Amino acid sequence: MSSFVGGDDDDYEHDAQVGGAMGGNAFIGDDDLDDAGGASPSAGGEGASSSSAAAAAGAASASGGAGPGYDSVAEQEAALAEAARLRAEQEAAALRPEDASRLHFGPDLARVEAEFLTNTEAAIVLKALADKAASTGREKTSDTFLRSREYAAAFGLGSKGEADEARAAADELRTQLLERTFASGASTELPGGALGDRLHKFEVASLGNLRPSDAAAARTLIPSLSRFDDSDVRTMLITVARCVGRLDGE
């Protein structure tokens, strides 16, 4: 199941789509993260930072000194270079055909600068959007939005746990899996510039949502994990099980 939240707030039928693509991930657009007030642990994303860095750099160029928020011209130039790198990556991604097994997600996701979320994170953002709409007397009542929210809440990490605990578990899972390196991946890097020994956000969200039972199942459900050996994949699965088990009282 996948949820995509994005678009005009007035178009409730496009606020959420329920489908079966992309390994059970939820995708969220920058506009919706803004509307949610940063409710998601993954709110923000590279797109927002690259735009703000470029704007600040432009202001500094006009004045001849460092822009607002920068201590020096060198710091600002480094931020501009990083923004340019991220933009180049997004443009390159838009030209590749969709192939999740190679961590290529096609032009649609590149264009909206979407983020990959676990169901727990999607539930947090969808609730924040619903609460914001309700506070202005414009409740979100479309069937697709309500079904997406219900699914995300039911199948999120630690569905038996309290909301704050579930959010903490989602944060912990994301942090531990994204920051860790897995040595076996370095020698079998995917074609097309994949991450090698680190997990992609898509893979982290897929692991959190699908919770494979063993290494073989993980590779079947998430083909890009084939670059890792059994030991590394089992370590990933243990991390997921630990986060979920604590919430479910196991």
| Token pair recorded at residue 30 | 């920058």
Where a domain ends, among 155, 180, 211? 155
pLDDT for 211-248, tens place per residue? 999 999 999 999 999 889 999 999 999 999 988 876 65
203 to 27, 38, 143: CA distances (angstroms): 13, 22, 29
At 9, the pLDDT band (50, 70, 90 cuts) reads very low
Q: Which domain holds residue 92?
A: 2-155
10 with 64, same domain? Answer: yes
Which pLDDT score is estimated for 94? 65
Count each helix (H run) and each strand (E run) in the chain, helices first. Answer: 11, 4
143 with 196, same domain? Answer: no
86 with 21, same domain? Answer: yes
214 to 60, 98, 172, 219: CA distances (angstroms): 52, 27, 21, 9
30 with 96, same domain? Answer: yes
Q: How many whole angstroms separate alpha carbon 126 and alpha carbon 26?
A: 11
pLDDT for 88-131, tens place per residue? 776 776 677 788 888 888 777 766 767 899 888 888 888 889 88
Which phi and psi angles does 19 have, rounded to 5°? Answer: -150, -165
Number of domains in the chain: 2
Buried b (16+ CB within 10 A) or exposed e, 123-133: bbbbbbbbebb
- The predicted model scores a pTM of 0.62
Q: 232 or 139: which carries more pLDDT confidence?
A: 232
